[in-house]
Amino acid sequence: MALSDPQGILASPLTIINREDESVAFKAIVDIIRQNQAGRIIIGLPLSMDGSLSKQAEKVKDFVTELCRHTEVPVEFRDERLSTVEAKRMVREVRKTDRKTRYDAMAAALILQGYLDEAP
């Protein structure tokens, strides 16, 4: 997960939420939404390189459908193709410890930053 600053200018990595137990994941997400008074949720959608919905994108959409039952905060999808590649490049330039967590958190920040950069 990533959060933006209150002005919606800068996205920063926040945490990784494990989805092994989806009820725990939903609670963790909703708690973060409430604690940070989030006004919108941006979800990375793993499209295929040709832009079609991948099997993983279908799983993400199913997860978001259930998440929407737990919060009224509006949800928007954002194409996340190549966000992990970019995150890995950026993380390599930083420390080399705990890369997997850093990649996922940085990818979330990149997806959110892309959204913020395009917002009016």
Residue 118 has pLDDT above 60, yes or no: yes
Domain of residue 20, residue span? 2-118
State how far Cα 34 lies from the chain centre. Answer: 16
Q: Identify whether the C-beta of residue 4 lies closer than 8 Å to the C-beta of residue 13.
A: no
Residue 69 has pLDDT above 60, yes or no: yes
User: For the chain, percent helix, then strand, then coil, each to nearest 5?
Assistant: 50, 15, 40
For residue 29, give the H/E element and its range. helix 22-35
Q: What is the CATH number of the domain that holds 31?
A: 3.30.420.140
Q: How many domains does the chain have?
A: 1
pLDDT of residue 96: 56
Tens of pLDDT, residue by residue over 13-68, are 888 898 889 999 999 999 999 999 999 999 999 888 888 888 999 999 999 999 99
- pTM of the complete model: 0.69
pLDDT of residue 113: 86
pLDDT of residue 90: 67
Vertex 6: Cα angle to 73 and 105 (nearest 5): 75
pLDDT of residue 12: 87
Tens of pLDDT, residue by residue over 71-111, are 999 999 988 877 776 777 766 666 655 555 667 777 888 88
